[in-house]
Copies of this chain bind each other. A is one copy, B any other.
Amino acid sequence: MDQLRALETPCLLLDRAVMERNIHRLHRRLRTAGVPLRPHLKTTKCVEIARLLVRDQPGGVTVSTLAEAGRFSASGFQDILYAVAIAPNKLAHAAALRRSGTMLSLLLDSADAARAAGAAATRDGLTFPVLIELDVDGHRSGVSPDPSVLVSLARAIHAIPGLALRGLLTHAGSAYDGTSVSAITAIAELERSTMTAAAATLRDAGLPCPTVSVGSTPTALAAQSYEGVTEVRAGVFAFNDLMQVRLCVCSVEDIAISVLTTVIGHYAPKNRMIVDAGWTALSQDSLRHSGVLIFGYVCDDAGQPLEDLVLTALNQEHGIVTRLSGGTIDSGRLPIGTTLRILPVHACSTAAAHDRYYVLDESAQIVAAWPRFGGWTESG
């Protein structure tokens, strides 16, 4: 652990063996089901990790920003789905990526946005492959699966020069409200059945629908059938986090990232300890645990949870550690300067707080520092 103790904290650690096991688990599961993975790169935003995610897969990826599309395109990824309904002011950027040869697919759920995308494409003599976003659970965005509404939008898109209708996409975000694997399995089945019915509706209307794209980490790990689905999107599964543990789709031992931090103070009268990881290092994602809002599990520097120590408040550069039981923290065992690891509530937001992953091998030796990017422009 000497190497870890020499790092300036806070910083982000990635346990490569745990991540590879997580990736292998979903790859194997989907291979058995006969459906390919189109990994969502928004969680990791790292070229080295993206290469592991597409290993033995067809190679298509999912992104949440055009900055991701540009960076991954420049690193050799050529089949990229931008899975957020596109804003008109991003069309010039998207067209530039498309012109460079990237097979950049767009997501649409309105005729207004479709007309803007078509105009941008024809201006440049391009064609954008397009998926229609379907709202299967009222969670966020997407068009209603009502056949008349859906067919009307699909016909409009199909008629717009510069757009090539390729099918349907959904994200059953309500899976995150699930409280058991069976509840998530039911949402996954709702996702699948609504999507396959909608695809049949389009095909019956003589419209093209080769792609039926579903996904989220919980539904990808809990679905019992993928019949009629042509690809599964998921991103968090590579890292996992306490939210996925809460959803019962992984264990604490499956969490591959942690924030390395250092004890900077003990406050026995207030029953608390302070570490140097605040919301800038962990994000503000929290979950309720035994009635208390927590921002992470506190582990030793080997990654083993320390009894009932949790983060119960975050400031910009301070993390407040208390015991769930309300008991006293043993300051003799964890003196100032002790290096600890924090398991995150939400991998996407915690990773987004860092510009690199310190990659650990199975002996907890740092074997690489992989860059991670953020922002909305390739220069960002």
Query: Across the interface, do A110 and B266 meet the contact criterion of CB distance under 8 Å?
Result: yes
Min CB gap A164→B, angstroms? 21
Interface size class of A (residues with CB under 8 A): 35 or more
Contact of A64 with B by CB under 8 A: yes
Min CB gap A333→B, angstroms? 14
Residues of B within 8 A of A285 (CB): 284
Residues of B within 8 A of A22 (CB): none
Contact of A374 with B by CB under 8 A: yes
Residues of B within 8 A of A320 (CB): 140
Query: Across the interface, do B10 and A279 meet the contact criterion of CB distance under 8 Å?
Result: no
Partner of A315, one of B88, B93, B140, B336: B140
Query: Across the interface, do B316 and A376 meet the contact criterion of CB distance under 8 Å?
Result: no
Of A79-87, A154-162, A177-185, A189-197, the segment with at least 4 beta carbons within 8 Å of chain B is A79-87
Return the chain B residue nearest A261 by Cβ.
Answer: B87
CA distance A284 to B354 in the complex (A): 16
Within 8 A of B (CB), among A66-116: 66, 84-90, 93, 109-110, 112-113, 116
Within 8 A of B (CB), among A250-269: 262-267, 269
If A315-B173, A318-B84, A335-B112 touch, does A376 touch B8 (CB 8 Å cutoff)? Answer: yes
Residues of B within 8 A of A9 (CB): 87, 89-90, 376
Contact of A219 with B by CB under 8 A: no
If A89-B7, A109-B265, A317-B64 touch, does A84 touch B276 (CB 8 Å cutoff)? Answer: yes
Min CB gap A88→B, angstroms? 4
| Interface SS majority for chain A | loop
Query: Across the interface, do A380 and B352 meet the contact criterion of CB distance under 8 Å?
Result: no
Contact of A367 with B by CB under 8 A: no
Query: Across the interface, do A86 and B264 meet the contact criterion of CB distance under 8 Å?
Result: yes
Min CB gap A354→B, angstroms? 8
For the complex formed by this chain, how many copies does it contain in all? 2
Residues of B within 8 A of A316 (CB): 42, 64, 348-349
Contact of A377 with B by CB under 8 A: yes
Query: Across the interface, do B269 and A144 meet the contact criterion of CB distance under 8 Å?
Result: yes
If A279-B349, A336-B113 touch, does A93 touch B265 (CB 8 Å cutoff)? Answer: no
Query: Across the interface, do A339 and B89 meet the contact criterion of CB distance under 8 Å?
Result: yes
Query: Across the interface, do B141 and A318 meet the contact criterion of CB distance under 8 Å?
Result: yes
Contact of A210 with B by CB under 8 A: no
Contact of A300 with B by CB under 8 A: no
Query: Across the interface, do B265 and A89 meet the contact criterion of CB distance under 8 Å?
Result: no
Residues of B within 8 A of A339 (CB): 89
Residues of B within 8 A of A8 (CB): 66, 89-90, 93, 376-377
Contact of A244 with B by CB under 8 A: no
CA distance A140 to B265 in the complex (A): 10
If A87-B337, A274-B85, A284-B349 touch, does A318 touch B140 (CB 8 Å cutoff)? Answer: yes
Q: Sample 29 A-B pairs with CB under 8 A, ordered by A number.
A: A8-B376, A9-B87, A9-B90, A9-B376, A11-B376, A42-B317, A84-B264, A84-B317, A84-B318, A85-B265, A87-B262, A87-B263, A87-B337, A89-B262, A89-B337, A109-B265, A110-B336, A112-B336, A113-B265, A116-B336, A138-B270, A140-B274, A141-B267, A141-B318, A144-B269, A279-B283, A281-B376, A354-B375, A355-B374
Given contacts A6-B89, A112-B336, 17 further A-B contacts (CB under 8 A): A8-B66, A8-B93, A8-B377, A42-B316, A64-B317, A87-B336, A88-B336, A90-B276, A110-B266, A141-B265, A141-B274, A279-B349, A281-B376, A284-B285, A316-B349, A354-B375, A356-B380
**Top 10 closest pairs, chain A to chain B, by CB:** A87-B262, A88-B337, A284-B284, A85-B264, A112-B336, A64-B317, A84-B317, A87-B276, A87-B264, A141-B265
